[in-house]
Amino acid sequence: MKPIRALIIDDEPLAREGIKELLNAEADIKVVGECGDGVQAIKAIQTDAPDLIFLDVQMPEIDGFGVLERIAQTKIPVVIFVTAFDEYALRAFDAHALDYLLKPLDPDRFAIALGRAREMIELNNNGGLPKKLAAFLHDLKTPTRHLDRIMVKSSDHIYFVKCKTIDWIEANGDYVYLHVRGEKHLVREKMSELEQNLDPHQFARIHRSTIVNIDRIEELRPMFYGEYAVVLNDGRKLTLSRTYRGRLFGLLNQST
DSSP letters for the chain: -PPEEEEEE-S-HHHHHHHHHHHTT-TTEEEEEEESSHHHHHHHHHHH--SEEEEES--SSS-HHHHHHTS-GGG--EEEEEE---TTTTHHHHHTT-EEEESSP-HHHHHHHHHHHHHHHHHGGGSHHHHHHHHHHHHHHS-----SEEEEE-SS-EEEEEGGG--EEEEETTEEEEEETTEEEEE-S-HHHHHHHS-TTTEEEEETTEEEEGGGEEEEEE-STT-EEEEETTS-EEEE-HHHHHHHHHHHHHH-
Higher pLDDT, 24 or 98: 24
Q: pLDDT by residue (tens digit) across 5-22?
A: 999 999 999 999 999 999
> pLDDT tens digit string along 159-206?
999 999 999 999 999 999 999 999 999 999 999 889 888 988 899 999
| pLDDT given for residue 88 in this prediction | 41
pLDDT at residue 146, as a whole number: 80
Classify domain 149-255 by CATH architecture: Beta Barrel (2.40)
Give the model's confidence band at 35: pLDDT under 50 very low, under 70 low, under 90 confident, else very high: very high
Bridge partners, 79 (sequence order): 53
Question: What share of the chain in percent tops pLDDT 70?
Answer: 87
For 224-236, what is the mean pLDDT? 92
Question: Does residue 121 carry a pLDDT above 90?
Answer: no
- Considering the chain, what is the average pLDDT of its residues? 86
Region of residue 200 (left: phi > 0; alpha: psi -120 to 50; beta: else): alpha
> pLDDT tens digit string along 208-223?
999 999 999 999 999 9
| Percentage above 90 pLDDT, the chain | 53
pLDDT in tens, 73-115: 656 789 999 987 655 456 557 656 678 888 888 999 999 999 9
**Contact criterion met (CB below 8 Å) for 152 and 158:** yes
Q: Is the pLDDT of residue 54 over 90?
A: yes
Query: What pLDDT score does 130 carry?
Result: 67
- The larger pLDDT score, comparing residue 171 to residue 247, is at 171
CATH number, domain 4-141? 3.40.50.2300
- Residue 135 banded pLDDT, cuts 50, 70, 90: confident
Domain boundaries, the chain: 4-141, 149-255
Question: Which residues pair with residue 238 across a beta bridge?
Answer: 230
Structural contact between residues 243 and 60, judged by C-beta atoms closer than 8 angstroms: no
